[in-house]
Chain A
Amino acid sequence: MSDAGKPIIAVTGLKKHYPVRKGLLRRTVGQVFAVDGVSFSIGEGETLGLVGESGCGKSTVARAVMRLIEPTDGTITLEGQDITHLGKAELRPFRRQMQMIFQDPFSSLNPRMTAGDIVREPLLVHGVARGRAAEERTAALFEQVGLRPAQMRSFPHQFSGGQRQRVSIARAIALDPRLIIGDEPVSALDVSIQAQVINLLMDLQRQKRLSYLFIAHDLAVVEHISHRVAVMYLGKIVEYTDKTSLFLNPLHPYTEALLSAVPVPDPRLKRRRRVLEGDVPSPMKPPPGCAFHTRCPYAEARCRVEAPVLQEAAPGHFVSCHLHVAA
């Protein structure tokens, strides 16, 4: 899992377990293994796509990396600095280095603030600029994300969904971060608008050498923007490789099923769909052995007992599956 050059962010063994409490005494009766040992790193100017179905822990990874929630275990290293256990005040300078774009363009902007105030806020909080200078920087940010500076006076409800995401992006890049975490930033948008927002993100990446952790459940979107992709299932990364090998040569049966579900815009093309049976097991009681064995068409006796680990099956191609272990 090495990158050319030093990674902007490196996450190792990240875990987030939520206790389940019941009864009058709030006794802990179990754990939800939302994220259970996730490791990845992202280099400068690189995009790592993180995919998986709802509830697999993608957003929890994003929030833990942003230190919006406390990870149960693991380390988060931002530009060589371990930020896993920093307190609020110590974390502040590092907040400038990483920012987040949220999924819901409606709840991610305060309805009572103007778009200009929303984008200006990070500048004021970090004392980067104030007064006239902050005003000018905000106007420049609006232009960078394809909005008109005149729109600074508008309130969020006066924007369309795509424009709201642009405001969110402007807020995220206001502090010139190194890393932007997008938690399904385009999932709530129309397909045509999705493309515009993704192209904007890619342009900004080129201009500013930004690194992205791009979370999505739509593989077509991920294929377009990512350099490398990590596939998550039930709190774990099951496959992790560069984009080309993932899409041309998926190794994990789960990835295979995900890819076969991507719609192809050609009605004549007949494809072999691999439809998964059953539901995702509860993250409170992950099945023993390989978490995917309950739905895997290739499951063997071994898969039910022994949990596979993420191993390099081909150069740079990591997979967590007994069927693909080199030796």
Chain B
Amino acid sequence: MHSTEYDSELVKAGASAQGAFGQTAYFLRRYPLGAIGAVIMALFVLAALFADFITAYSPLSTDAALSLAAPSRAHWLGADYMGRDIYSRIVYGARISLAVGLGSTGLGCALGVVVGLVSGYLGGWVDLIAQRVMDILQALPLLVLALVMAAALGPSLWNTIFAISIPLIPAIARVIRSNTLALRELAFVEAAQAIGMSELRIAARHILPNTVAPLIVLATAQLGAAILTEASLSFLGLGIPEPHPSWGRMLSESAAEYIRTAPWLVIFPGLAISLVVFGTNLLGDALRDILDPRERG
């Protein structure tokens, strides 16, 4: 009935073989906020990749004369108490903070989705066991867990990512499970069973795509939290070891002492974290809409 309108909509959407340019132009027009989010994220990723080329100072070199220096022409964002250039530290810190944020969110989501999907779809004793394991994970304090991991394996980037991703698993698994429970009762799942489709394929083809919206919302919210969690872990010496710069630690180690005397130590890392969280949220919202066919007219 609406198919002629739909076809023209498709052409507008640039979906009919207009190439990447048409699609990008459509994306910009339809989701301006999403585009801003994408640009912010792209800038941070590029900064992290090309940190060597866009900084004049090493993020690790100290200079007593520059201790707590205010922003100036030579040091755009000032210097910290050890005289390290804050701009360089933020640019290099993007590597660690993005790796921790994206890595732990991605890992937590992947595991959480699998557990939630299996638990909700199969039900029965699988569900029972999976949910009790999730309870245990949730009951385990993150810091104790990180402490044990750091003590056993030594503080490193990977251990930090693992430790932060673990409390994420039950949060994601619960949401995906409850969505799956609701979706499982819908007639299109029954129709798939009537066709004789395997349970695994039903879960992957019919249930998972319909849980994308809450997953994206959760994941974008968790990304910022993960970057901050890394800060507290590093502050306790359980995360990324000194002197490597991470935004979280730049913020946490200076917040109490220097907020009055040298606020640039606090403002700029905080701004970097806020921008990344803001960018992912904008991008996530747009992604959620783009992935929903109902939003496409």
Contacts and interface: CB of A to CB of B under 8 A. Distances in A.
Contact of A104 (B1, B3, B187, B194): B187
A114 B188 CA distance: 13
Contact of A158 (B2, B193, B195): B2
B293 A157 contact: yes
Contact of A151 (B3, B186, B196): B3
Interface string B2-28: 110011001000000000000000000
A55 B214 CA distance: 34
Given A99-B194, A125-B195, A108 B187 contact: yes
Q: Which residue among A103, A112, A155, A157 has the maximum number of chain B CB atoms within 10 Å of its CB?
A: A112
Contact of B3 (A66, A109, A150): A150
Contacts of B192: 121
B139 interface: no
A151 B294 CA distance: 15
B257 interface: no
A108 B188 CA distance: 4
Interface in A108-138: 108-114, 121-122, 125-126
Contact of B293 (A122, A155, A171): A155
Interface in B159-212: 186-188, 190-197, 201, 205-206, 209-210
Given A95-B196, A107-B186, A150 B206 contact: no
A174 to B, nearest CB: 9
B293 A112 contact: yes
Chain A interface category by residue count:
35 or more
B1 A153 contact: no
B294 A95 contact: no
Given A107-B186, A109-B188, A150 B210 contact: no
Q: What interface size band does chain B fall in?
A: 20 to 34
B190 A102 contact: yes
Given A95-B196, A111-B210, A112-B209, A158 B3 contact: yes
A103 B192 CA distance: 15
B196 A92 contact: yes
B113 to A, nearest CB: 16
Contacts of B191: 100, 102, 108, 168, 171
A162 to B, nearest CB: 9
A68 B193 contact: yes
B209 to A, nearest CB: 4
Given A95-B194, A107-B187, A112-B293, A159 B7 contact: no
30 contacts: A68-B190, A68-B193, A91-B196, A99-B194, A100-B190, A100-B191, A102-B190, A103-B187, A107-B186, A107-B188, A108-B186, A108-B187, A110-B206, A110-B210, A111-B210, A111-B294, A112-B209, A121-B192, A121-B205, A126-B195, A150-B7, A153-B10, A154-B2, A154-B3, A154-B6, A157-B294, A158-B2, A158-B3, A171-B191, A171-B195
